[in-house]
Amino acid sequence: MTDSAEGSAEASAYPLAGPREVRAWLWTVATTNRAAFAAMLTLFGLATGAGLVGPWVLGELVESVRRGAATTAVDLLALLFVGVLLVQAALRAWARFVAAVFGERLLAKAREDLVHHAVELPLDTVETAGTGELLGRATSDVDKLDEGLRQAAPEIVIASVMVLLTAVAMVITSPLLALGALVSVPLLVVLTRWYRPRAVPVYERTLASWAKVHASAHETVVGGRTVEALGLGGRRRTHHDAAMRTAVAGERRSGQLWGVFLAGLDAAALLPIAVLLLFGAWAYQAGLVGIGEVTAMVLYAGALTEPINEVLGWMDELQIGHAALRRVLGVGKVPPDTGDPSVVPAGRRIELRGVRFGYRAGRDVLHGIDLAIEFGERIAVVGPSGAGKSTLGRLLAGINPPDRGEVLVGGVPISALPLERRRREVVLVTQEQHVFTGTLRDNLTLPRSASDEELHDALRAAGASDWALRLPDGLDTRLGSEGVPVPPAIVQQLALARLVLADPHTLVLDEATSMVDPTVSRGLERSLAAVLDGRTVVAIAHQLHAARDADRVIVMDEGRIVEQGPHDELMAAGGPYAELYNTWDAGTDTVTLR
């Protein structure tokens, strides 16, 4: 939580997909679901066609009453009108159902793509951006997309087909009166041109602000202990309030824009009806049109109001959905951390050459590290807080690539290896160990799939065999919040079992159950020793007793290696290590730093 406590909610390492990429994605989804897409459009067309017969029948009804037609003919027309309404309602419901299924497929694809890309994201990108940002895109943005797709898209299709066919019917009924209905077209064009360019950036900003609100809340919860320990509650609240205020201001602004737009839409809907009534009365008196035509035209104009408002109104939802889709697809634009399968290490030697690295541009944390680690060596990295020990560990494991220089394993850059291969070479073990919701088997097979026998062997090596055998459903027992609670020591042992299965030749232990930590139970200590056996171990020794037994101690200060060698040699030399060691209080396990 150190740096991310305040900072990462501000940054977004994830780009937005461009409008062309969104179109290409939608096109791919539409064409791969061609049958459902065609069925949806056909049903909407039929439903709308049925809707157009209604006003025509009503026009005929008025005309036949005016002509004094027989009652049976009038009754038949009235019956036909009711029948048309029923068919229209049935077709609409069916079309909506098909559209909902289509929308769900689209949404499922968006979610699957997001998850697929998210798991391939470089870890340093996820950490820089903060998990909240990714969480925001995977939750609130997908929800917005859901609303846009499930509701807006079908409504817009229905309404657009309706507008189109109604316009055609109006032209056929009376080309002269149809001219009168065009009166609102310029108004609609001006309104849309005013509204769109203003609303779209506001939506995009508002979605980004909500993501920041989520990120802020998420980080406060995740780092709850740090927040409490350092008394950061007030600062976190201020931070959260600021994020919230930006989001609320965005919502208010989009509400204002929408209000103006809606008023304009109402005016544009009423105008053609008024014009048609006046124009129709004049044309009727002039003998240019019949009363039935005027009736049908006014009904058509009235019928147009709703779909036009729907199209433009739902466009708003669709635009929010579009902005959300750009954010969701944007995650896929980050180059995945897939590595190059043709790169194969030759050997297990690790070498750092002129390594420089900084979390932020221009602020190097490591200033040119040269280091060679032979297979099987036991290394302890020591140094004052902030010296760059953990950062060195991250680079050794290929989590962050160096800005300059090289981190080589078996002569090839570790960050060029495919992720799975990388984890078979070097694994960084930290104190943070998770038990994921799922079965014991799920928890163990995270590094790779394995047979039951291999799983039991790994549990035995980690010393968790007895515990596992007592589980009600063995390897298929559900663990975590929804299942069997896992005691802290077992959490560590499960992490060790995962390591056994991943079987890397080098382990970087950062604040992990340190090699000879006296606070760790004897059993766990033995398991750890068994797991470390036959591997290279780089222990980032925040506690100095680990350094005494190492083959070589590496002393870091301010991002540089200032001294290295075995404990006894360094003590005899009386340099920085001896100074550090002499100020270490083994009783409280603390080091007094300069």
124 belongs to the binding site for ligand ATP (CB under 6 A): no
Q: In the window 541-560, what residues touch ligand ATP (CB under 6 A)? A: 542
154, 223, 383, 463: residue in contact with ligand ATP (rule CB under 6 A): 383
359, 477, 557, 578: residue in contact with ligand ATP (rule CB under 6 A): 359
| Span of 217-225, 252-260, 386-394, 582-590 interacting with ligand ATP by CB under 6 A | 386-394
Distance between CA 573 and CA 421 in Å, rounded? 40
CA distances from 26 to 31, 32, 37, 139, 329 (A): 9, 10, 11, 20, 11
3, 143, 568, 585: residue in contact with ligand ATP (rule CB under 6 A): 3
| Span of 173-181, 335-343, 380-388, 428-436 interacting with ligand ATP by CB under 6 A | 380-388
Nearest to 6 by CA among 167, 178, 226: 226
Distance between CA 216 and CA 210 in Å, rounded? 10
CB of 558 to ligand ATP, least distance (A): 9
Give how many residues touch ligand ATP by CB under 6 A. 12
What is the SS3 assignment for 277-326? HHHHHHHHHCCCCCHHHHHHHHHHHHHHHHHHHHHHHHHHHHHHHHHHHH
Q: Which is nearer to ligand ATP, 322 or 542 (CB)?
A: 542
Q: Which is nearer to ligand ATP, 86 or 593 (CB)?
A: 593
Q: In angstroms, how far apart are the furthest CA atoms of the chain?
A: 122
| Span of 138-146, 151-159, 367-375, 382-390 interacting with ligand ATP by CB under 6 A | 382-390
Nearest to 446 by CA among 462, 435, 432, 431: 435
CB of 356 to ligand ATP, least distance (A): 13
Binding mask 509-548 for ligand ATP (x = CB under 6 A): ---------------------------------x------
388 belongs to the binding site for ligand ATP (CB under 6 A): yes
CA distances from 557 to 383, 400, 407, 572 (A): 6, 20, 20, 19
Distance between CA 108 and CA 493 in Å, rounded? 37
Question: CB–CB of 135/217 below 8 Å?
Answer: no
290 belongs to the binding site for ligand ATP (CB under 6 A): no
330 belongs to the binding site for ligand ATP (CB under 6 A): no
Distance between CA 107 and CA 101 in Å, rounded? 10
88, 390, 439, 527: residue in contact with ligand ATP (rule CB under 6 A): 390
Residues 6 or more apart from 354 whose CB is under 8 A from it? 368, 369, 370, 404, 405, 406
Distance between CA 558 and CA 552 in Å, rounded? 20
Q: Which is nearer to ligand ATP, 129 or 459 (CB)?
A: 129
Q: CA geometry: angle at 365 spanning 360 and 371, to 5°?
A: 135
45 belongs to the binding site for ligand ATP (CB under 6 A): no
137, 348, 389, 505: residue in contact with ligand ATP (rule CB under 6 A): 389
CB of 26 to ligand ATP, least distance (A): 37
387 belongs to the binding site for ligand ATP (CB under 6 A): yes
| Span of 73-81, 284-292, 379-387, 421-429 interacting with ligand ATP by CB under 6 A | 379-387
| Span of 39-47, 296-304, 384-392, 433-441 interacting with ligand ATP by CB under 6 A | 384-392
CB of 386 to ligand ATP, least distance (A): 4
473 belongs to the binding site for ligand ATP (CB under 6 A): no
385 belongs to the binding site for ligand ATP (CB under 6 A): yes
Tokens 């740090």 correspond to what residue? Answer: 226
Distance between CA 281 and CA 568 in Å, rounded? 109
Instruction: Work out the angle between the directed axes of helices 291-330 and 34-67 (0-180°, nearest 10).
Output: 160
Q: Which is nearer to ligand ATP, 88 or 400 (CB)?
A: 400
Q: Which is nearer to ligand ATP, 348 or 542 (CB)?
A: 542
Give the torsion sign (CA, 264, 269, 270, 275): positive
365 belongs to the binding site for ligand ATP (CB under 6 A): yes
SS3 586: coil
Query: Residues interacting with ligand ATP, by CB under 6 A?
Result: 3, 359, 365, 383, 385-391, 542
